[in-house]
Amino acid sequence: MKPLSDQFEPGKSLLAWWKDLDDNRAARATLRRASNVTEVTLTPHYQKLYRRLCAVGWDDAGRAYRRDRLAAAVGLLAHVEHDDDRRVAVTMSKPAEGGDRPPVSSLRFMRLLEAPDIEALFTGLRRVLPLMGKQANVIALSNDIVHWGDGVKKQWAYDYLWPAESTKN
């Protein structure tokens, strides 16, 4: 499976679509209201994007799980207002300047990694994105959701800046 990338047409199209959400408030609002992956899938905004991605090389070869993961990514991107150049787990864990607490606690982060399916991951990330200041690396987030599995989970675990444990002597 080829990753989404801003170097290939599907990634370029996805990024362009996300940038256009600023001018299409109705689409953003509709997608933000979608409370699960099925609701995202049933929106005309997702369907139009899906067809555009297929036309430029997105290959799901009839794999429903990839369609669901793409829908989850699209639904989550509606909640992202600022593209961040950092990897997703770094954005979740890097404290704000002058702060000492990560935007996403290590406990909440672990719950994301333990999500049993794409629906649970979608719900968890919908709740986490506001904590991250509604910013994420658009391509990396999409790619991670589409390719969600042990490899992505491990990479997130390595990328997360784990807070130091407080020790009592």
- At residue 169, the pLDDT reads 45
Q: Residue 143's domain is classified under what CATH number?
A: 1.10.520.40
Helix/strand/coil (H/E/C) assignment for every residue in 20-44: HCCCCHHHHHHHHHCCCHHHHHCCH
State residue 3's pLDDT score: 55
Q: How much is the pLDDT for 6?
A: 52
Alpha carbons 49 and 78: distance in angstroms, whole number: 13
Find residue 135's DSSP bridge partners: 82
**What is d(CA 29, CA 7) in angstroms, rounded to the nearest whole number?**
29
* Residue 38 domain flag: yes
pLDDT of the residue at 141: 97
Unique residue bearing structure tokens 């800046």: 161
In a domain, 161, yes or no: no
What's the confidence (pLDDT) of residue 118? Answer: 97
Please give the residue range of the domain that contains residue 43. Answer: 9-156
Is residue 109 included in any domain, yes or no?
Answer: yes
**What pLDDT is stored for residue 9 in this prediction?**
81
In total, how many domains does the chain have?
Answer: 1
Q: Is the pTM of this model over 0.85?
A: yes
Provide block-wise average pLDDT over 10 residues at a time, the chain (169 residues): 60 93 95 98 96 88 87 98 96 89 96 97 98 96 95 97 65
